[in-house]
């Protein structure tokens, strides 16, 4: 992304601060547009510029930042957010959680008085991250019939995001992430179709196909001499199917794969259904050697009771904590506690959503086992993963090419 192509909107009721932040944004190489009234922003910004950021003050008299986020949630396209406030850190944290609940992208938050150095770091991190863009036309509406056809006609493909061992820098595994290669709309990302799959009873069949594709790729890596565990996300519907353990065991045996090369990532929310059935299935999966990871740890309900009941082998710290842990002492304490807890329970601990060297350094200090995120690599094709590992003796940290 060319810096001058990114627009940074500033909304704050203090004219002097709007002017200061706008000047700083311009000095950093970005285009700035400042507003002292949120209503003026909505009146004058009918179409939000792509790759844009909004610096949003939370406490404003006419329309506060919470109201702004509520209104933005109904917009087709929204800028990423950097929240600013003179309130205590608890208010900022709550506002960040609310923004994520509205499906808004959060770059970070800054207390007042705003540190221009920290602002510059957040803006640079947003540019460097360069997340993949869904190229499907925005007006394209995914239907259940089209998604069913995609599953039946083998239009699903997988990209893989590497996990890196923090101690050695070696690639120690990958997470398989589904994409839909639409014949006319191009590559469609899961945020466009997962909800459709869940609402229309397609998520079970969808996940089975993803697992099968991941296992086939695992076999290809094994044949090439690469021992690379693959993690796949499973839904609540999958862990109500009593035949799942046998199906996966047969699939792995057919491909001559060690069961511990497959990791099933289960969110806490997926465990909120029929507890007895879920525990039955998950325990039998472990008996068959398949590893289990509790995903997005700390964001669901009864996290500790889930750890106590289910034989997980891995704990994934949710990216919302990782994103804020460098500046936020509370987030850092949560990450530290998760790592200590995981190790006490003989689990591997993975930090997801790592996007900066500072985050990586802190995770290393806290003895986290492994990490994944855009700082290392975007999700990439299996061929890119293979070439990267074969070309790097140790799969060094930060050396993966984001494509």
On the question of pLDDT at 163 being above 70, the answer is yes
Q: Tell me the CATH architecture of domain 3-129.
A: 3-Layer(aba) Sandwich (3.40)
How far apart CA 114 and CA 292 sit, in angstroms, is 42
Q: Give the burial string for 129-151 (b: 16+ CB within 10 Å, else e).
A: beeeebebeeeeebeeebbbebb
Chain segment 303-320, per-residue pLDDT in tens: 687 788 889 999 999 888
On the question of pLDDT at 396 being above 60, the answer is no
**pLDDT at residue 327, as a whole number:** 82
3-class DSSP state for residue 163?
strand
3-state SS of the chain: helix, strand, coil percent to 5? 45, 20, 35
Cis peptide upstream of residue 381 (ω within 30 degrees of 0): no
**pLDDT at residue 89, as a whole number:** 79
CA distances from 77 to 73, 80, 83, 241, 243 (A): 9, 10, 18, 38, 42
| Residue 280 CB neighbours (<10 A) | 15
CATH assignment of 144-391, among 3.40.50.10800, 3.40.190.10, 3.20.20.450, 1.10.640.10: 3.20.20.450
How far apart CA 351 and CA 317 sit, in angstroms, is 5
Q: What is the mean pLDDT of the chain?
A: 87
Mean pLDDT of all residues in 191-198: 86
How far apart CA 106 and CA 55 sit, in angstroms, is 11
On the question of pLDDT at 197 being above 80, the answer is yes
What is the tally of helices (H) and strands (E) in the chain?
15, 14
**pLDDT at residue 237, as a whole number:** 77
Nearest CA-CA partner of 328 in 95, 105, 98, 123: 95
Mean pLDDT of all residues in 18-38: 94
Asked if residues 279 and 310 have their Cβ atoms less than 8 Å apart, the reply is yes
Nearest CA-CA partner of 189 in 353, 351, 378: 378
On the question of pLDDT at 403 being above 70, the answer is no
**pLDDT at residue 270, as a whole number:** 66
**pLDDT at residue 139, as a whole number:** 53
pLDDT band per the 50, 70, 90 thresholds, residue 275: confident
Q: Are strands 171-182 and 186-188 parallel, antiparallel or unpaired?
A: antiparallel
Question: Percent of the chain having pLDDT more than 90?
Answer: 59
On the question of pLDDT at 124 being above 90, the answer is no
Contacts for 355 with CB less than 8 Å, ≥ 6 apart = 125, 128, 129, 323, 373, 374, 375
Q: How big is the CA angle at 81 (ends 78 and 86), to the nearest 5 degrees?
A: 140
| Residue 383 CB neighbours (<10 A) | 8
Segments making up each domain of the chain, as ranges: 3-129, 144-391
**pLDDT at residue 178, as a whole number:** 95
pLDDT band per the 50, 70, 90 thresholds, residue 269: low
How far apart CA 144 and CA 206 sit, in angstroms, is 12
Nearest CA-CA partner of 18 in 2, 1, 33, 3: 33
Lowest mean pLDDT among 108-112, 271-275, 280-284: 271-275
Mean pLDDT of all residues in 30-47: 90
Lowest mean pLDDT among 66-70, 87-91, 282-286: 87-91
Mean pLDDT of all residues in 135-162: 84
On the question of pLDDT at 298 being above 90, the answer is no
On the question of pLDDT at 254 being above 70, the answer is yes
**pLDDT at residue 133, as a whole number:** 47
Mean pLDDT of all residues in 374-383: 92
C-alpha dihedral over 68, 73, 77, 78, to 10 degrees?
40
**pLDDT at residue 4, as a whole number:** 52
On the question of pLDDT at 46 being above 60, the answer is yes
On the question of pLDDT at 293 being above 90, the answer is yes
Mean pLDDT of all residues in 311-332: 90
How far apart CA 403 and CA 383 sit, in angstroms, is 12
Structure tokens at 219: 């076999």
How far apart CA 262 and CA 282 sit, in angstroms, is 13
Cross-strand pairs, 130: none
pLDDT band per the 50, 70, 90 thresholds, residue 344: very high
Asked if residues 315 and 347 have their Cβ atoms less than 8 Å apart, the reply is yes
Residue 211 vs residue 236, higher pLDDT: 211
Lowest mean pLDDT among 145-159, 302-316, 355-369: 302-316
| Residue 393 CB neighbours (<10 A) | 8
The three-state (H, E, C) secondary structure of 283-295, written as one string:
HHHHHCCCEEEEE
């Amino acid at each position: 992304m060319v810096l001058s192509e990114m627009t940074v909107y500033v909304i704050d009721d203090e004219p002097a601060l709007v002017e200061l932040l706008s000047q700083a944004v311009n000095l950093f190489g970005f285009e700035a547009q400042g507003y002292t009234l949120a209503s003026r922003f909505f009146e004058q910004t009918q179409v939000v510029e792509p790759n844009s950021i909004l610096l949003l003050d939370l406490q404003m008299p006419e329309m506060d930042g919470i109201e702004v986020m509520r209104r933005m949630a109904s917009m087709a396209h929204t800028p990423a957010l950097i929240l600013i406030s003179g309130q205590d850190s608890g208010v900022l944290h709550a506002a960040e959680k609310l923004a994520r609940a509205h499906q808004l992208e959060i770059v970070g938050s800054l207390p007042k008085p705003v540190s221009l150095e920290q602002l510059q770091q957040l803006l640079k991190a947003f540019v460097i991250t360069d997340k993949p863009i869904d190229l499907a036309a925005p007006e394209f509406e995914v239907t259940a019939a089209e998604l069913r056809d995609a599953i039946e006609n083998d239009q699903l493909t997988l990209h893989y995001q590497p996990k890196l061992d923090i101690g050695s820098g070696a690639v120690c595994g990958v997470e398989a992430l589904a994409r839909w290669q639409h014949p006319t709309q191009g590559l469609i990302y899961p945020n466009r179709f997962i909800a459709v799959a869940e609402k229309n009873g397609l998520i079970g069949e969808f996940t089975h196909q993803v697992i099968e594709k991941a296992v086939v790729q695992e076999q290809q890596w094994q044949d090439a001499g690469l021992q690379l565990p693959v993690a796949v996300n499973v839904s609540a519907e999958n862990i109500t199917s009593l035949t799942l353990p046998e199906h996966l065991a047969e699939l792995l045996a057919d491909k001559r794969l060690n069961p511990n090369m497959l990791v099933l990532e289960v969110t806490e929310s997926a465990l909120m259904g029929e507890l007895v059935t879920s525990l039955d299935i998950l325990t039998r999966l472990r008996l068959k050697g398949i590893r289990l990871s509790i995903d997005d740890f700390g964001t669901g309900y009864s996290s500790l009771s889930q750890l106590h009941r289910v034989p997980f082998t891995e704990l994934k710290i949710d990216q919302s904590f990782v994103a804020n842990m460098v500046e936020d002492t509370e987030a850092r304490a949560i990450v530290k506690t998760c790592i200590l807890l995981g190790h006490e329970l003989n689990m591997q601990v993975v930090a997801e959503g790592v996007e900066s060297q500072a985050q990586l350094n802190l995770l290393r200090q806290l003895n986290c086992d492994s990490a994944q995120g855009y700082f290392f690599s975007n999700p990439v094709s299996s061929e890119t993963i293979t070439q990267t590992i074969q070309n790097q003796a140790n799969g060094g940290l930060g050396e993966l090419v984001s494509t």
